[in-house]
Structure 1
Amino acid sequence: MFLALREIRAARGRFLLMGLVVMLVAALVGIVSGFTTGLGNDTVSALRALPATHVAFAPGAKSDQFNRSLVDASTVARWRERPGVEAAPLGVTIARGTTDRGLEIDMAAFGVEPGTFPAPPVRRGTGLDAARPGLVVSGKLASDGVRVGDTVTVDRLGLKLPVTGVTDDLSYGHVPAVYLPLDAWRAIRFGVPGAATAPDRLPQDVSGVALRARPGADLAGADRALGTLSLPMSKVLEAAPGYKGERVTMTSIQVFLYLIAPLIVGAFFAVWTVQRAPELALLRAIGASRRRLLSYTVLQAALVVAAGTVAGGALALATGLLLGAAVPFSLPAGTLAGTLAAVALVGLAGTCLTLRRVTTPDPLTMLGAAR
């Protein structure tokens, strides 16, 4: 411990430079993790908030199911008759609208039956009412200026819907979510611009059937009998536009950073070990054991990597606070801790490249054998 700290103090410029490099790598990994989590939440938070275990889609929809799948009313009714399953219709589509105060908004319209489990809880105002069509809007829209009591007119259709409540900050495909009764959703999904169509004249289809399956429920048998495709919620998230591609892209960046970190740390300590080979040989000559040399080198690496990683984590958090709500950034404590631990571990793994040189110095080097 004494030798390790004295050496760091004597060559503080080099160790400070190495610590700064580790800090920047850790900060970059933390920032990428924040963007990965933030983008994921901004894409699928409305689906994650759905209290369902599965969603049943039309079997022909193999991707982008919420846009391509249509399930008819009779199939929904038959799902409700299946034992061990609670089923409710669910519609999802993207729309635009304008409030009566002139605020233009994009919205991911979730059609639900009021009183069923997909209907969202409200933080302000009142929930959905089948007898009184209205909107429950995401907290994101409330932050943008949409208020309870406003009236939203859906573009091209002229459909007017009053805002009755505000729910959590939920979004789908980077678009704030709104919840409305199924008849209003069908008017948005199937309505013809410029033509008022009675609800009973519109197709009675929905995007899918939200399911809450109890243990032992035979979903595969139900799919065969009803002609649907049931997906667990982990797969349903991939139905959101762009979710899978974003995850692959951001994860690939993280993987490359994890590969870069040990190479940088390993290269630094490899050069440092070569430069202090005479000192290591002298320590061996006066009786220092290989285990002692090894522990003191690993301690140096651990101090540099730990200090740089903690500083990088603080920099990542500061970046998140600076960005605020301007971009989708989220870095929970658990995610940050896991990210920093991974950076520290791969950084320390890089020191393994130098351990052989540390444990095999020749004492004769200091006794003149190299002359």
Structure 2
Amino acid sequence: MYLALLELKAARGRFLLMGSVVVLVAALVGVVSGFTTGLGDDTTSALRRLPATHLAFASGADSDQFARSLVGPAALDGWHARRGVEAAPLGVSIDRGTTDRKTEVDFAAFGVRPGSFIDPGATSGTPLAAGAPSGVVISQALADEGVRIGDTLTVDRLGIGLKVTGSTGRAAYGHVPVLYVPAETWLGLRFTMPGSHSAASALPRQYSAVALRVRSGTDLRAADKALGTHTVTVRDAYAAAPGYTGERVTMTSIQAFLYVIAPLVVGAFFAVWTVQRRPELALLRALGASRRRLLGHTLAQAAVVVGAGTAAGAALAEGVGLLVSADVPFSLPAAGLTTAMATVALVGLAGTAVTLRKVTTVDPMTMLGATR
């Protein structure tokens, strides 16, 4: 170990250069991880907040279910009647509106039945109420955009006025902040034609999905067959959020390439470094150093370079996150950062494996011809 540290000091320029590459790779992995988590949260956090285990969509809606699925009253009543199942209607649509203070916002309207198990309640103000069909609860992201409790939000093209009565935690869907509305009011947002004034009783009683809280052992397949629905877990329903699957595939592909690049770069450096110091390694073998000691010598150098570079890269990724998180979706929890950096360190050390054979096969007899 002492000899390894002496070599690090003697060739510090080379090792600093290699360490800088590891820092940049680790930082890039951390930043990509932060964007992956942040984009995922900004697309599906409203779905993650749902205290449901499953969502039942209309049968035949195999993609973009929240936009294409319409579940009628017969299926909703059927799920209500199922033993071991708690059911509530859920409507999802994206709209745009303007407050009476001229604040323009896009929002994802989540229609929920007041008092049901998926009612988000309110952290401030008053929650949804069946007797106040125009009352709505905003998520924190809408509050950040300037919408306040007491504002009246008029939905563009429809002219429907919504009174903001309360606010709740952060929730977004498809990169749009969420607005919780009573389920009956959501029907008006979904089915009212611009310029028309349809009575509430004339609107179809259809929702995007039925939110379910299912006890273990419930036969969902039989229920789907009887009710004409298609039930998936809430986690599987993330794919129905707009852009979620494409973003996830893109960002994880970038991460995978970085995990491939890291061992190649580290391995190439140590392969060249090992070739350059073969005479020194041969001398150590001639002086009695064992192959095991030379292996430990090489791995110690790799561990110092990769470990220090990864730690510095983690700090750099955290710094980048602090700079950009106010403007773009970025989330880098400690657990995610630790996992990403541990993976970088492991694949980086794995890259040194290509040099181990050259270390163990060095011949001490080559020193006899070192001056020829």
- The equivalent of 1:67 in structure 2 is 67
- The equivalent of 2:106 in structure 1 is 106
Residue 204 of structure 1 aligns to which amino acid in structure 2?
R
Residue 27 of structure 1 aligns to which amino acid in structure 2?
A
Output the CA distance in 1 between the equivalents of 2:39 and 2:201: 39
Encode CA deviations 1:77-125: one digit per residue, 9 max, x unaligned: 1100001110000000000000000000000000010000111132111
Encode CA deviations 1:12-32: one digit per residue, 9 max, x unaligned: 000011000000000000000
Output the CA distance in 1 between the equivalents of 2:206 and 2:111: 11
SS across alignment from 1:366: helix
1:353 aligns with 2:354: yes
1:91–1:182 Cα contact (<8 Å) kept: yes
% same residue: 65
- The equivalent of 2:84 in structure 1 is 84
- The equivalent of 1:121 in structure 2 is 121
Encode CA deviations 1:312-350: one digit per residue, 9 max, x unaligned: 000000000011320000000000000000000000000
- The equivalent of 2:296 in structure 1 is 295
Output the CA distance in 2 between the equivalents of 1:330 and 1:357: 42
- The equivalent of 1:49 in structure 2 is 49
Output the CA distance in 1 between the equivalents of 2:68 and 2:321: 36
Q: 1:26-41 counterparts in 2 under 5 A?
A: 26-41=26-41
1:364–1:370 Cα contact (<8 Å) kept: no
SS across alignment from 2:177: strand
SS across alignment from 2:159: coil
- The equivalent of 1:154 in structure 2 is 155
1:56–1:231 Cα contact (<8 Å) kept: yes
Output the CA distance in 1 between the equivalents of 2:303 and 2:276: 19
SS across alignment from 1:331: coil
Output the CA distance in 2 between the equivalents of 1:58 and 1:325: 38
SS across alignment from 2:349: helix
- The equivalent of 1:58 in structure 2 is 58
- The equivalent of 1:273 in structure 2 is 274
4+ residue segments displaced more than 3 Å: none
6-15 or 194-203, larger mean C-alpha shift: 194-203
71-80 or 331-340, larger mean C-alpha shift: 71-80
- The equivalent of 1:215 in structure 2 is 216
Output the CA distance in 1 between the equivalents of 2:99 and 2:70: 29
Encode CA deviations 1:184-239: one digit per residue, 9 max, x unaligned: 11111000111111111101100010000001011111001111000111211100
SS across alignment from 2:98: strand
SS across alignment from 1:367: helix
1:249 aligns with 2:225: no
Output the CA distance in 2 between the equivalents of 1:225 and 1:326: 47
Output the CA distance in 2 between the equivalents of 1:140 and 1:366: 70
Output the CA distance in 2 between the equivalents of 1:270 and 1:324: 39
For structure 2, the residue ranges without an aligned partner over 5 or more in a row are none
- The equivalent of 1:18 in structure 2 is 18
- The equivalent of 1:165 in structure 2 is 166
Cα shift at 1:247: 0.3
Aligned residues: 371
- The equivalent of 1:284 in structure 2 is 285
- The equivalent of 2:341 in structure 1 is 340
Q: 1:122-201 counterparts in 2 under 5 A?
A: 122-133=122-133, 134-201=135-202
Output the CA distance in 2 between the equivalents of 1:197 and 1:233: 33
Output the CA distance in 1 between the equivalents of 2:25 and 2:87: 47
1:55–1:209 Cα contact (<8 Å) kept: yes
For structure 1, the residue ranges without an aligned partner over 5 or more in a row are none
TM-score (norm 1): 0.99
Cα shift at 1:75: 1.2
Cα shift at 1:369: 6.4
Residue 173 of structure 2 aligns to which amino acid in structure 1?
Y
2:325–2:331 Cα contact (<8 Å) kept: no
SS across alignment from 1:354: helix
2:112–2:182 Cα contact (<8 Å) kept: yes
TM-score (norm 2): 0.99
Residue 168 of structure 2 aligns to which amino acid in structure 1?
T
